[in-house]
Amino acid sequence: MYPKTQKAERVGGNMTIANAIALLGGLGFFLFGMSLLGEGLKRVAGSKLETILGKLTSTTFKGVLLGTLVTAVIQSSSATTVMVVGFVNSGIMQLSNAIGIIMGANIGTTATGWILVLAGVEGSGGFSSATMFALISFIGIILYFFCKKSSRKNVGMILLAFSVLMSGMQAMSGAMAPLKTSPFFIDFISAVSNPLVALLVGIIVTAIIQSCSASIGILQALSITGVIGYDVAIPMVIGMCIGACVPVLISAMGANVNGKRAAFVYLYFNLSGAVLLMVPFYIIHAIVGFDIMSATATSFGIAVVNTIFKVAATVLLVPFSKVLERIVLTTITDKKGKRSKGENSLLDRRFLDYPSLALEQVRKTIDQMSLTAFKNLVGSVDLLYNYDPKQFDSIMAGEDKVDKYEDEIGAYLVELNARQLSEKENQASAKYLICLGNIERISDHAVNIAELAKELQDKKLNFSAGARRELKVCTDAVHEILDLTGSALLSNSSDTAKQVEPLEQIIDALTKELKTRHIQRVQQGACTLELGFVYNDCINNFERVADHCSNIAVAVIEASDTHLQSHDYLRNIKNADQEDYRSQLTAYASKYYSALDIPQ
């Protein structure tokens, strides 16, 4: 019995409240270090690390390699799988391609366990691992706070994160050391020596922490007590692998059928691996008796068990990936009992936690939006020459589609901008917001032109031969500027974008000339005043379309040059020393002015 003053300070036998606080503090450092390490590694690996997951892999084996690589960097198989669920949910990736990546994610997450083994390495001559981590931390501080290059700062962040992670690991190990003499803890370990109980404990712990790497790390820290044997550690590790499925299943709750299937692939894979490996292992152990089961588990041994289980499960199940896919398709069906194609919006909210990936999906969606808007504009111009009611209805439907794109992309970007974005990501977001508004306005002008064409049709009005000839020259120029803008946007080419502004200047001059000429025709009685209003409105819409194309092109150019501002670019290109601009301006003038006999 402890004295009354000591009993209040003790928790679970020989572990004091101070130890418990140290344990919680160490856990906090450990989890924060893991998060910081993953973030630092992602920055060094490149901002588009996550986007490579969206590229389809031709074989399951390539998917395994890709999943292993990405997960080893971001330090979380759950995070990788959540992204894959988002890809499948959005229709970017087929379920068959996702299976290999999910398998690889399990292997990639073993990297954390091997890193944590270093926390228990002791050197000679008093040079302990704590001394090594202190040195690494000092180097990290110098790189992070005193270096200007972002690449060196990112390396500094990795070193600092590594030190924080290891400090947390050692703090947890130190706080748990008294448990080795705690009767309560020893009784608890005896209770979970049953494989099924240990498996269940592993599942529950990981489901709460929502990270298999973290729960494995805690188990490695707990092994310092010397009380845990492999008879407890092995089933607990397997349970932790199964428990990692919980956050993935939660993330799939709002997904479509295919998204849910991807999440359940992760669950079925880990369950199948557990059954295929545990059942034979324990049958043989019951017959032969493995000596290792009575041995004391170590941090190194737990890392080995974790790796062997995940690699073995993958090797066993890769040849049966198609069978796994069929099981998922059979158990997770849509309401009609058919396989769902899952072609949903690319803007899956799961991607918001990965800004570079979210911005890539925004880019793809804006590309789709621009294709619809530009097609609308081209179709509306065609109506001026050959009116078709079906084409008119198609343009109206396209406008509704563009408006929907604008609402979805705008709301998505607002939510994304609330996250912490890098300078490059902020610039990309600003570019997409500019493009978003201008593309929507181009579609609006397409509707305006279509309605003018309908007015001409309803009132049976026709432009004069001269007006039609001049209008055709202007619409040809508008078609060309649309093609250039679309190409610059889709290919993100600043060289192509730089060809837009000189053509926009030519279109401005053309519209002014066409307005003057049409006023003369009205005055001469060659055209009615009513037709004059329609003609003038058409010209105004063409001029506005060219302006919006210019805005989009400048946004593309700005995104490729972080130090460039739109007003600086537009002012500088018109200087006399801008030979490229002048030569392009001359070429466009020769092409379109000559068609109207306008002096150059």
Q: Would you state the pLDDT for residue 304? A: 92
The residue ranges of every structural domain in the chain are: 16-331, 345-447, 461-600
CB 78 within 8 A of CB 210: yes
Under 8 Å CB-to-CB from 58, ≥6 apart: which residues? none
Phi first, then psi: what are they for 229, rounded to 5°? -100, 170
For helices 77-90 and 212-222, the axis angle rounded to 10 degrees is 170
Which superfamily, per CATH, for 345-447? Phosphate transport system protein phou homolog 2; domain 2 (1.20.58.220)
63 neighbors 56 (Cβ within 8 angstroms): no
Residue 444 region, left (φ>0) first, then alpha (ψ -120 to 50), else beta? alpha
The string of pLDDT tens digits covering residues 533-545 is: 888 899 999 999 9
Distance CA 113, CA 76 (A): 12
Predicted pLDDT at 382: 92
Q: What is the pLDDT of residue 552?
A: 93
Helix spans in 91-194 (H): 95-108, 110-117, 129-146, 150-176, 183-191
Tokens 């610039």 belong to: 427
What local confidence, expressed as pLDDT, does residue 248 receive? 84
- Angstrom distance (rounded) from CA 445 to CA 467: 20
Identify whether the C-beta of residue 41 lies closer than 8 Å to the C-beta of residue 111.
Answer: no
How far, in Å, CA of 93 to CA of 91, rounded? 6
Structure tokens at 60: 């399951």
| CA atoms of 217 and 206, how far apart (whole Å) | 11
Closest CA to 87 of 70, 73, 72: 70
CB atoms within 10 A of CB 151: 11
**pLDDT score for 130:** 66
Distances in Å between the Cα of 191 and the Cα atoms of 232, 283, 285, 432 are 10, 21, 20, 58
Distance CA 567, CA 179 (A): 68
The one-character DSSP state at 123 is -
Tokens coding 77: 């198989």
Q: Cβ neighbours of residue 96 under 8 Å, at least 6 residues apart?
A: 60, 321, 322, 325
Task: Kindly report the number of other CB atoms within 10 A of residue 52's CB atom.
Answer: 14
Asked if 62 and 96 count as a contact pair (C-beta separation under 8 A), the reply is no
Give the span between the Cα atoms of 100 and 94, in whole angstroms.
11
Place of tokens 């856990």: 27
- Chain centroid to Cα 396, Å, comes to 32
154 CB burial (10 A radius; 0-12, 13-18, 19+): buried
Q: Which residues of the chain are under the pLDDT cut of 50?
A: 1-13, 123-127, 337-344, 576-577
**Do residues 9 and 17 lie in contact, with contact meaning Cβ atoms separated by under 8 Å?**
yes
Cβ distance 373 to 441 under 8 Å? no
pLDDT for the residue 1: 36
pTM over 0.85: no
Please give the CATH topology (third level) of the domain spanning 461-600: Methane Monooxygenase Hydroxylase; Chain G, domain 1 (1.20.58)
β partners of residue 11: 15
Same topology, domains 345-447 and 461-600? Answer is yes
Q: From the CA atom positions of the chain, what is the Rg in Å?
A: 33
Residues 6+ apart with CB under 8 A from 135: none
Q: Are 538 and 384 in contact (CB under 8 A)?
A: yes
